[in-house]
Structure 1
Amino acid sequence: MWGIPRTRYADCSSSEASEEIEIVVNVGGVKQVLPGDLLSRYPETRLAELLEISSESFDAVTSLCDDYDPVKGEFYFDRDPDVFKCIIELYYYGEIHMKRGFCPICFMKEMEFWKIDADFLDECCKSSLTEAEVEMSEIAEKVKMILDDLEGDPDAGRWQRCQMFLWKLMEKPESSLPSRVIAIASFVFILISSVVMCIGTIPELQVKNAEGKCVDHPTLEAIETACIVWFTVEYLLRLISSPNKVDFLFSFMNIIDFLAIIPFYVVLTLTYLGNAVMELSNVQQAVQALRIMRIARIFKLMRHSSGLQTLTFALKRSFTELGLLLMYMGIGIFLFSALGYTMEKGHPETLFTSIPQSFWWAIITMTTVGYGDIYPKTTLGRCNAAVSFLCGVIAIALPIHPIINNFVIFYNKQQMLDNAAKHELELMALRAGSEALGKESQKFLKSCGSVGLWDKVMRAQSDTCIPLVEEVSQSTPVSSSTDKDE
């Protein structure tokens, strides 16, 4: 199909004659002979328009191609020849497939140049395009957040500027050195509080109060109080500086922070009011129950650990696999506990007294823990136990790979977004010079949405740039085939 032209281009203005001619196109140094009847199948495309302009002026010809040689009858296009091989499939097969290794955004630019509607792209390729557009919008949103952190809103009032400064100080460790110091101090206080909570349970380090009961050492209580004061001040400052108080209060991590703080004050209140309000025994039970909630503060480490955050998001994306794992284990536990009870109930020294009581044996057997507190004593029971732990290994191993794969995908995506955002900031600085992150750019960025942000920014800064993100219609996942040549 790709080769030396066999016929010369002939002037013709009628559709009947276009079926008898051939045109020669030279795309990136590769010549292609295209029959007129083949191109006439899609008259709105750029190649089909070449059939109708032979008798017109040279300017009309060059408006559709980069150059034209009337002697050789060749239309020259300074485009990617490999992509053109995919484009030409439309005229032969009625659809376009995007080959592996092509950038979806750049491929759509090529389709727009050749005036081919995106609906002709195969469905499998549209999904790749959608994923690329989502990634570009996420990169644009991340860059927009970085730019907002650098300058903020110049039109904001004094209180809004103070609020934004406090918010960046408490929530964005990468924004400045003081905010990084605060993040490290918060991390240290979390570790100290967790260690003190564990050490306080050692009997040798406890002291007796006036009633003869063991309580925490006064030094440990002082350290615990200092940690709680830090957590309280940190929580209140973040709440005051939060742009959206409702979202802040109902955020998962902020709920964890609240649960790590409130038990201390409730215990303090019950300790002082317990004698007058209720019996001391009830107060002590409530105090012990609330003190257990202090273990929630260990989850505060997720705020300062990107690895824990990645693990959390990966588990959220793996709910289907985790559900399958629980379903497999639940079926196996019910089945093998019932079989174990049936096979062991006739033995005089049986440890399987009921099916619900056998659930514990089935759980520790299928998970290959095997405490040995409950075990079968008959031959059939041992065979049942052997099958149960083999099935347990298989049931656990099957969903593990998708869960690990989700973790790797999410982690690599986060790394890609961070690197891409830094790269785009460097490109912006190179294109716009030292004033790239000034007030005018900031105002312009704020007027742009997350999708199409880079398109607008790059068009404003350079007439020859290739936009990263294209405006996407809400009705279809891919952009329309309008000619956007500049």
Structure 2
Amino acid sequence: MWGIPKTRYADCNGSEASEETEIVVNVGGVKQVLPGDVLNRYPETRLAELINNTSESFDTILSLCDDYDPGKGEFYFDRDPDAFKCIIEVYYYGEIHMKRGICPICFLKEMEFWKVDPDFLDECCKSSLNEVEAELSEIADKVKLILDDLEGDPGASRWQRCQVLLWKLMEKPESSLSARVIAIVSFLFILISSVVMCVGTIPELQVEDAEGNPVEHPTLEAIETACIGWFTIEYMLRLISSPNKVHFMLSFMNIIDFLAIMPFYVVLTLTYLGTAVMELSNVQQAVQALRIMRIARIFKLARHSSGLQTLTYALKRSFKELGLLLMYMGVGIFLFSALGYTIEQSHPETMFKSIPQSFWWAIITMTTVGYGDIYPKTTLGRCNAAVSFLCGVIAIALPIHPIINNFVIFYNKQRVLETAAKHELELMALRSGAGGPGKALHRSLKSYSAAGLWDSAMRASQSDTYIPLLEDSSHRNITHSSKDKDH
């Protein structure tokens, strides 16, 4: 199809083109001969309009193409030839397939130029466009969020401005140097508190109270109190500055923060006030149970770690794979524990007393842990254990790759979105003629949306470089006034 044109060309000065008329198009330096009857299958497209208006004036022809050589009978288009190879398929097959490697935004812009409806795209290609549009929507949200952070509402009161400033200081480490310092200090307090909690359980570092019971060292308790004081101040400042108090208190990470500091104050209450209404032994048991809840503070690290946040989102996206893993393991545990119990009943010193008790053996065997506290003693029992071991390896290995793949995809996507948002801000700053997104830029983009970013990306995808294809033609008088305006 692509190569040397045929010897028959359209006569632009003659009668109206018939269905047997052929035109020669040169798209980005690649020539092709297109029959008129094929192009007229879709009369609203640019090529069909061109072949049906060859008898019109020269200016009319130039309004449909970039240039025209009446001597050769060639119509010139400064467009992407690879995209045109895909678009021309609509005249022959009634649908379009976008080749791999072509930008979906640029391809959609090419379809718009050739006046081909996007509905002709195949469903697989439409899904690619939907993914790009979704990514652009996320970029737009990030850009709008950054712009909101750069400058607040000018009509806000003094308290509202202070509230926004405090919220950025406590919640957004990337907003300023002081906010980053606070985030680092909070991270260090979390680590210190976790280390103190672990070290406090070492018997050599514990002291005895008046009744001879081991308790934490007073120095460790002082460090713990200082950490809890920091966590309390941090939580209260974030709660006060939060724009939505209800959403803040119901957020999962904020619930973790509350659970990390709540046991300390409950323990104080039970220690100093509980003895009046409760027995001392009950108070000590309640205190010990609440101290265990201090392990929740380790989850506070996720607030300051993008890696842990990415892992959390990846696990959320992998619920289906994790469900399959649990289902495989559940079926295998039930099957092999029942077989192990039945087979081992013939041995007088069997360790498989019941099927529920055999669940523990099946779990540690299929997960390749194998503590050895319960093991089969018959030959068939050992064969059953070997099969359960192999099936456990397979059951665990099958869903691992999709879970890892979800993590990599989400992590790379977040990095791409952050980079794209920064680039979009730089482009907007250049277009506004400023060194950065200042007040004028912020006002002009206050209603920034995904649709606006989509239109911007579509305009940017259009080629703004005119390649002269006819160096010796005396009829080149076409201008690109619209492109000059864009520059």
TM-score, normalised with respect to structure 2: 0.91
Deviates more, 1:148-157 or 1:408-417: 148-157
1:449 is matched with which residue?
Answer: 449
> Aligned-pair distance for 1:153?
2.5
2:474 is matched with which residue?
Answer: none
2:470 is matched with which residue?
Answer: none
Whichever residue aligns with residue 389 of structure 1, its letter is: F
Confirm or deny that 1:8 pairs with 2:15. no
User: Counterparts of 1:454 and 1:116 in 2: how far apart (Å)?
Assistant: 19
Deviates more, 1:136-145 or 1:305-314: 136-145
1:22 is matched with which residue?
Answer: 22
CA distance 1:111–1:314, change in 2 (3 Å):
same
User: Counterparts of 1:452 and 1:38 in 2: how far apart (Å)?
Assistant: 37
Whichever residue aligns with residue 206 of structure 2, its letter is: Q
> Aligned-pair distance for 1:434?
2.3
| SS in structure 2 at match of 1:174 | helix
User: Counterparts of 2:460 and 2:90 in 1: how far apart (Å)?
Assistant: 28
CA distance 1:127–1:59, change in 2 (3 Å):
same
User: Counterparts of 2:452 and 2:368 in 1: how far apart (Å)?
Assistant: 53
The answer to whether the Cα contact below 8 Å between 1:187 and 1:304 also exists between their aligned partners in 2 is: yes
Whichever residue aligns with residue 250 of structure 2, its letter is: F
The answer to whether the Cα contact below 8 Å between 2:432 and 2:441 also exists between their aligned partners in 1 is: no
2:347 is matched with which residue?
Answer: 347
User: Counterparts of 2:201 and 2:449 in 1: how far apart (Å)?
Assistant: 54
Deviates more, 1:179-188 or 1:17-26: 17-26
Deviates more, 1:299-308 or 1:18-27: 18-27
User: Counterparts of 1:38 and 1:341 in 2: how far apart (Å)?
Assistant: 75
Deviates more, 1:323-332 or 1:43-52: 43-52
2:296 is matched with which residue?
Answer: 296
1:181 is matched with which residue?
Answer: 181
**Tell me, which stretches of 5 or more residues in structure 2 are unaligned?**
463-481
Mapping for residues 36-435 of structure 1, pairs under 5 Å? 36-434=36-434
| SS in structure 2 at match of 1:452 | helix
> Aligned-pair distance for 1:188?
0.4
1:478 is matched with which residue?
Answer: none
The answer to whether the Cα contact below 8 Å between 1:12 and 1:18 also exists between their aligned partners in 2 is: no
User: Counterparts of 2:59 and 2:227 in 1: how far apart (Å)?
Assistant: 77
Deviates more, 1:86-95 or 1:26-35: 26-35
User: Counterparts of 2:436 and 2:310 in 1: how far apart (Å)?
Assistant: 32
Whichever residue aligns with residue 10 of structure 1, its letter is: D
| SS in structure 1 at match of 2:223 | helix
Q: Once the two structures are superposed, what CA deviation does each residue of 1:7-28 show, in whole Å capped at 9, x if it has no partner?
A: 121249998x521211121111
Give the number of aligned pairs.
Answer: 465
User: Counterparts of 1:466 and 1:246 in 2: how far apart (Å)?
Assistant: 43
The answer to whether the Cα contact below 8 Å between 2:194 and 2:298 also exists between their aligned partners in 1 is: yes
CA distance 1:416–1:242, change in 2 (3 Å):
same
Q: Once the two structures are superposed, what CA deviation does each residue of 1:39-59 show, in whole Å capped at 9, x if it has no partner?
A: 110111111111232233333
The answer to whether the Cα contact below 8 Å between 2:105 and 2:461 also exists between their aligned partners in 1 is: no
Deviates more, 1:148-157 or 1:243-252: 148-157
CA distance 1:83–1:351, change in 2 (3 Å):
same
Q: Once the two structures are superposed, what CA deviation does each residue of 1:161-214 show, in whole Å capped at 9, x if it has no partner?
A: 111111110111111111011000000000000011011111122122222222
> Aligned-pair distance for 1:152?
2.4
Whichever residue aligns with residue 439 of structure 2, its letter is: K
User: Counterparts of 1:79 and 1:278 in 2: how far apart (Å)?
Assistant: 84
1:31 is matched with which residue?
Answer: 31
Whichever residue aligns with residue 207 of structure 1, its letter is: V
> What RMSD in Å do the two structures reach over aligned CA positions?
2.1
The answer to whether the Cα contact below 8 Å between 2:332 and 2:388 also exists between their aligned partners in 1 is: yes
The answer to whether the Cα contact below 8 Å between 2:143 and 2:421 also exists between their aligned partners in 1 is: yes
| SS in structure 2 at match of 1:4 | coil
User: Counterparts of 1:92 and 1:414 in 2: how far apart (Å)?
Assistant: 41
